[in-house]
Amino acid sequence: MEDPREAARTALAAARARTLAITAGLDDASARARFDPGISPLGWHLGHVAWQEECWVLRRCAGQAPIDPALDGIYDSFRSEKASRSARIPPLEAIRAYVDRVREATLAFLEWAPLEGPLLGGGAVFRFLANHERQHAETMVVALLLGRIELHLEHAPPRERSDGDGWCDFLPAGGCSFVVGSDGDPEGWDNERRAHVVEVEPFAIARQPVSNGAWLAFLEGGGYRDDRLWSEAGRRWRDRERVEAPLHWRRGADGWERRTLRGWAPVDPLHPVAHVAFHEAEAFARWVGARLPSEVEWECAASWEGGAKRRWPGGATAAGANLDLRFGDTTPCSREARSPVGAEEMAGNVWEWTASHFLPWPGFTPGIYAGYSAPWFGERHRVLRGGCWITDPAVARATFRNWFEPEVRAFPSGLRLARDQR
């Protein structure tokens, strides 16, 4: 069994290495800039992950006094308004110094801390902080895309492309009793609990997420202008924001282009479409006579394997999936990672919208970070599954639940179609 202290050091170091790689090229101006009303400045995210670490480890566990009480009003998500963060964060040099100071103190505490109790037992608080930082790293890459700031990292060579297409049938006689959620995953969040049995009716799910090529046909066929395809809320949003194509797309001299971390590139018809809102995904599904899967259907197709349940859709690990900036962009689907029903790329590439609202599972109780899920439950948010090319593998598990408002397009969100089977 792995030593919990060493596991904590490894998880914290890996999460921090990704954060520092993402922010290495910033200057004070780009760290302070706010590229979208819904996304905080990059410098705020950098300071916030350190502040959370200070609050949970140094203050709550080690009993130390605040390093600087004034930072609470800046980095506390529930106390500082996003609109004010650009002006209020410290200079980048001071943020980096704070980040280093907190980490040094955390590692010193970890050397002797008694790993017992609700927070420290088994290193729980350190796992929580590593996962928290992984999620903020994803948001920081999204901010780079919005700010058109290029990020050059080493990437794996291209994968072998899958020729898979069509539908995967889930047709158990009389339906299926499926266990949704997870109680025992060490990386699990409170909204994944409690695990419970649901009855799933037969359905079919697309073998691959919707591609750019299919989206181009929708766009050029008038899908954005056909009011019959759009919900009332979707039409209002589309007209208000003048939405005519996915976010980061533009018409170039030689056709459609999309913004990437390496600059502008032609829209590749084989890549999955990314940066579309729920409203767009819903309209596309109507256009092809299909629908979005429920999150229960999605999790079932991703993980259910004849009475057992996979942690990742592709198998025992997330190997082969387009995750963690491995390729630096979306890629054509690979045959390397298939779910039990044969669906490809259910982990990585793009977050996949589902039809489900973000609601608690029966028996939900808040975790150690009570503000993570509970404030966001309700019909204002839709659930997404699977992770994207930026997501850390620890986040892209089959039971992980993400949630956005239906207008959000900043993250690499796409869709996979579903349909009823009679």
What pLDDT is attached to residue 317? 81
Instruction: Look at strands 413-415 and 351-358 and give their pairing.
Output: parallel
Contacting residues for 287 by C-beta, under 8 A, at least 6 apart: 218, 221, 223, 226, 229
Instruction: Enter the tokens of residue 161.
Output: 């492309």
- Could you give the residue range(s) of every CATH 1.20.120.450 domain in the chain? 4-146
**C-beta of residue 230 within 8 angstroms of C-beta of residue 267:** no
Helix axis angle, 4-23 to 124-146, nearest 10°? 10
Cα–Cα distance measured from residue 74 to residue 82, given in angstroms and rounded to the nearest whole number: 10
Which residues on neighbouring strands pair with residue 414, listed in sequence order? 352
Q: State if pTM tops 0.85.
A: yes
What pLDDT is attached to residue 334? 84
What pLDDT is attached to residue 154? 86
CB atoms within 10 A of CB 415: 27
pLDDT tens, 295-340? 999 999 999 887 788 898 887 788 889 999 999 999 998 877 788 8
What pLDDT is attached to residue 153? 87
What pLDDT is attached to residue 276? 98
Would the CA dihedral through 285, 288, 289, 293 be positive or negative? negative
CB atoms within 10 A of CB 153: 12
Q: What angle do CA 241, 351, 86 make, to 5 degrees?
A: 55
What pLDDT is attached to residue 318? 84
Domain 156-422 bears CATH identifier 3.90.700.10 = no
Instruction: Enter the tokens of residue 147.
Output: 């700010």
What pLDDT is attached to residue 391? 96
Cα–Cα distance measured from residue 234 to residue 8, given in angstroms and rounded to the nearest whole number: 44
What pLDDT is attached to residue 319? 83
**CA proximity to 397, closest of 308, 296, 314:** 314
Cα–Cα distance measured from residue 123 to residue 315, given in angstroms and rounded to the nearest whole number: 26
| CATH number, domain 4-146 | 1.20.120.450
Instruction: Enter the tokens of residue 415.
Output: 């869709």
Q: Where are the alpha helices (DSSP H) in 40-193?
A: 42-53, 72-75, 82-88, 92-112, 117-120, 124-146
**Spans of the chain below 70 pLDDT:** 1, 173-175, 422
What pLDDT is attached to residue 173? 66
**CA proximity to 334, closest of 121, 91, 161, 142:** 161
- Could you give the residue range(s) of every CATH 3.90.1580.10 domain in the chain? 156-422
